[in-house]
């Protein structure tokens, strides 16, 4: 019996390029024997490669039966690469173009969450032009938005470009750093509480939407929140299942399902939350293609329920082949 040829799409012109390379490598190493992995590497300029040679996307698709999308961030997770895959009618894992675009845009996803009754931190949008005086923006925020607050780009993942502004100098520094790479910023209320993340999987274990256990994330003391350094330094505590009450665990799992459905996502996702003692649970964002590296949270949650990465990969590849 011939093996299914799985093109593993990784890399790309994204701020999460390196993480995507690791996720793609992990996917290729954990595919079962019935699959033949084919590495489809996209460089930072957007050129597709197979076996080290540049190819047009349509040439790459002729060599595979389906695609495992192991990309993160811009291009791979915001609906753009999904449009290419849909145009060429190639089966692929993960959410489709519209759901991916809505989840990646933090303002759009916040509005959708609010429409479905999920609590999100209060916010405002800040558009910065090259000729703007950052000090003026910082002063206006300092006077009119409760400090501390979070500064983040509207459309990135892995906490790229996210800064905590605790006082006026930190506001100026955060705006300067964020504006160096992004023009549209989300200014968001800082919610003090315990951080949690919950993965969900379509049609898993005889459930239409299966929720993995909530993971509690405890960043190092020097990291006030789960920022880029905390995520990939290996110094954060990631407790699975998290030390939440039974009611909190159930609510977190239900909210992750609601977020997945509200955004119209497919196959799997992972939502991030803040759990507060008095104000309840706030959703921060939903990741349509969470990391699948050895350090990533999603595989840890799989292990906690007696599953593993090879079984999960097989499951979502079957969903993609079946057109679900």
Do residues 81 and 33 both lie within one domain?
yes
Do residues 107 and 227 both lie within one domain?
yes
Do residues 270 and 150 both lie within one domain?
no
pLDDT in tens, 140-152: 999 999 999 999 9
Rounded Cα distance, 224 and 244, in Å:
20
In a domain, residue 293? The reply is yes
Which of the four pLDDT bands, split at 50, 70 and 90, describes residue 180?
confident
Which of the four pLDDT bands, split at 50, 70 and 90, describes residue 262?
very high
Do residues 110 and 210 both lie within one domain?
yes
Residue 293's CATH number: 3.30.470.20
Do residues 35 and 144 both lie within one domain?
no
Query: Is the model's pLDDT at 157 over the cut of 70?
Result: no
Q: What is the pLDDT of residue 159?
A: 58
pLDDT in tens, 306-319: 999 999 999 999 99
In a domain, residue 97? The reply is no
Query: Is the model's pLDDT at 226 over the cut of 60?
Result: no
In a domain, residue 141? The reply is yes
Do residues 112 and 57 both lie within one domain?
no
Query: Is the model's pLDDT at 288 over the cut of 60?
Result: yes
Do residues 259 and 115 both lie within one domain?
yes
Do residues 297 and 175 both lie within one domain?
no
Do residues 138 and 280 both lie within one domain?
no
In a domain, residue 167? The reply is yes
In a domain, residue 13? The reply is yes
Read off the pLDDT of each residue in 9-20 and give the average, rounded to a whole number.
Answer: 93
Which of the four pLDDT bands, split at 50, 70 and 90, describes residue 1?
low
Q: What is the pLDDT of residue 236?
A: 77
Out of 162, 189, 216, pick the residue that ends a domain.
189
Read off the pLDDT of each residue in 218-228 and give the average, rounded to a whole number.
Answer: 62
pLDDT in tens, 68-113: 999 999 999 999 999 999 999 999 999 999 999 999 999 999 999 9
Do residues 107 and 205 both lie within one domain?
yes
Residue 137's CATH number: 3.30.1490.20
- Alpha helix positions (H), 161-308: 168-179, 228-232, 246-262, 297-304
DSSP, collapsed to helix, strand or coil, labels residue 41 as strand
E strand map for the chain: 4-11, 35-42, 48-50, 53-55, 66-69, 123-127, 149-153, 163-165, 184-189, 194-204, 207-211, 215-218, 237-239, 268-276, 280-287
Q: Are 68 and 242 in contact (CB under 8 A)?
A: no
Count of structural domains within the chain: 3
Range of the domain at 310: 102-120+191-321
């Amino acid at each position: 019996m011939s093996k299914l040829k799985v093109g593993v799409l990784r890399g790309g012109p994204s701020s999460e390029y390196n993480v995507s390379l690791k996720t793609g490598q992990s996917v290729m190493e954990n595919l079962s024997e019935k699959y033949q992995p084919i590495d489809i590497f996209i460089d930072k300029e957007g050129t597709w490669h197979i076996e080290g040679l540049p190819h047009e996307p349509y040439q790459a698709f002729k060599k595979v039966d389906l695609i495992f999308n192991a990309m993160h961030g811009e291009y791979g997770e915001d609906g753009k690469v999904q449009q290419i895959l849909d145009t060429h009618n190639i089966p692929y894992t993960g959410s489709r173009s519209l759901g991916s675009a809505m989840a990646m845009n933090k303002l759009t996803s916040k509005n959708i969450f609010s429409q479905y009754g999920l609590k999100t931190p209060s916010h405002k949008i800040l558009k910065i032009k090259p000729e703007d005086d950052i000090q003026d923006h910082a002063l206006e925020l300092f006077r009119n938005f409760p400090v501390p607050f979070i500064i983040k780009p509207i459309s990135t993942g892995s906490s790229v470009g996210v800064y905590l502004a605790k006082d006026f100098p930190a506001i100026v520094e955060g705006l300067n750093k964020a504006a160096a790479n992004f023009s549209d910023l989300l200014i968001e209320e800082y919610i003090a509480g315990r951080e949690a993340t919950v993965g969900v999987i379509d049609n898993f274990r005889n459930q239409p939407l299966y929720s993995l256990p909530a993971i509690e994330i405890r960043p190092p003391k020097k990291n006030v929140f789960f920022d880029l350094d905390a995520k990939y330094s290996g110094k954060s505590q990631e407790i699975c299942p998290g030390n939440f009450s039974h009611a909190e665990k159930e609510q977190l799992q239900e909210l992750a399902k609601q977020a997945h459905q509200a955004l119209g996502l497919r196959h799997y996702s992972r939502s991030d939350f803040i759990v507060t003692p008095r104000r309840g649970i706030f959703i921060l964002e939903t990741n349509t293609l969470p990391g699948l590296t050895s350090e990533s949270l999603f595989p840890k949650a799989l292990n906690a329920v007696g599953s593993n990465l090879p079984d999960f990969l097989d499951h979502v590849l079957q969903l993609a082949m079946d057109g679900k």
